Amino acid sequence: MKQLIQKLTDTFSPSGYEDAIRDVIRSEIKGFADEMRVDALGNLIARKGKGGTRVMVAAHMDEIGLMVTHVDEKGFVRFTGIGGVYPRNLPGGRVRFMNGTRGVIGLDGSVVGNDLPALDKMFIDVGVSDREACPVKTGDVAAFERPFMDLGGRLVAKSMDDRIGCAVAVEALRALKSTSNEVYFVFTTQEEVGTRGAQTSAYGIDPELGFSIDVTGWGDTPGQRDFDMALGQGPAIKIRDGGMLSDPRIVDWMIAAAEKNKIPYQREVLLGGTTDARAMQLVRSGIPVGCISIPCRYVHSPSEMIDYADVQNAVKLVTALLRPPIKLP
């Protein structure tokens, strides 16, 4: 599974430009789904089973990125963020544009001392001396470039958010030899810019219930407080986040499955941020939803860290949820 995670995280596909990662995922699940299709917004939808409860499982394919707003006369590239790009994580970072051009992020000379600069006080240096020689133009898109790192029990890469959720969904689909339900694994687009792909795909599928698989924050490094979440303690069952309250029946269903199958889990109350589950919840006349989260350190940085055992246990939990008949109270 580590090879799969590396393949997914090494792929460059910022929000709105998910073609490359969709092709990778499609090749990984070919032959395991009963049906596959791509909708108008680029979501990859893989169905397993027919009849029974209609379930949607969403993991987003996109990653945060940067978009060129201007190239100055000396060839320095100004940019804005695609999704939740945190300025403190950027200086000195390396990026790769969709056309293969690489660059390093520098700070405007007007930034002094330990000031935390805004994005408009940064630039990307692609190694040229004038605008005419610059190989990128306004509107071009880049993602962070940082090599995958295997620390044994911990894995580090850019775009763990949410390629790790995609990895869990891929492995669960492979492991789900049969199901009593009609399960739609949806690898969604444009989550980082407003959970857009989940909204359109949920409208088309019209599920009876659903859940997302995504990362969450961490509370187990120095100075982190008031968030009861640790790497290595199991996947988290979300109770609420900044945009969504999980349906209590979904929470109870997930906890019961984890305890029955002796899968370690954590209870998650996240004060900010949200996932595809929020968009799913509000489609049509409403859908009961929840979320399985992978604790992740340094979220929305080029070096996001997860625990490998948490990922493996998330696969077990998703599989345990989807195999038997599902009937909520």
The model carries a pTM of: 0.95
pLDDT for the residue 110: 73
Average confidence (pLDDT) per 10 residues, the chain, 329 residues: 97 96 98 96 97 96 97 97 93 94 90 78 95 96 95 96 97 95 98 97 97 95 86 98 96 98 97 95 96 96 97 98 93
Residue 304 sits in the same domain as residue 165: yes
Q: Tell me what pLDDT residue 305 has.
A: 98
- Which of the listed residues 97, 121, 144 is the one where a domain comes to its end? 144
Residue 163 lies in a domain: yes
74 and 205 together in one domain: no
User: 6 is written with which tokens?
Assistant: 């590396």
Contact 270, 236 (CB under 8 A): no
Residue 56: the pLDDT is 98
Bridge partners (DSSP) listed for residue 323: none
Contact 313, 234 (CB under 8 A): yes
Q: What is the per-residue pLDDT across 267-305, written as a single tens digit (0 to 9) for each?
A: 999 999 999 999 999 999 999 999 999 999 999 999 999
Which residues are designated catalytic? 191
Within 13 Å and on the Cβ side, how many CA atoms surround 121?
12
Question: What CATH number has the domain bearing residue 76?
Answer: 2.40.30.40
What pLDDT does residue 80 have?
97
> In this predicted structure, what is the pLDDT of residue 329?
84
Taking the CA atoms of 46, 244, 278 and 232 in sequence, report the sign of the dihedral they define.
Answer: negative
Would you report the helix, strand and coil content of the chain in percent, each value rounded to 5?
25, 30, 45
Rounded Cα–Cα distance for residues 8 and 217 (Å): 20
CATH at residue 273:
3.40.630.10
Q: Cβ-count burial of 197 within 10 angstroms (0-12 exposed, 13-18 middle, 19+ buried)?
A: buried
* pLDDT on residue 112: 67
Instruction: Based on the fold, state whether residues 69 and 59 are members of the same structural domain.
Output: no
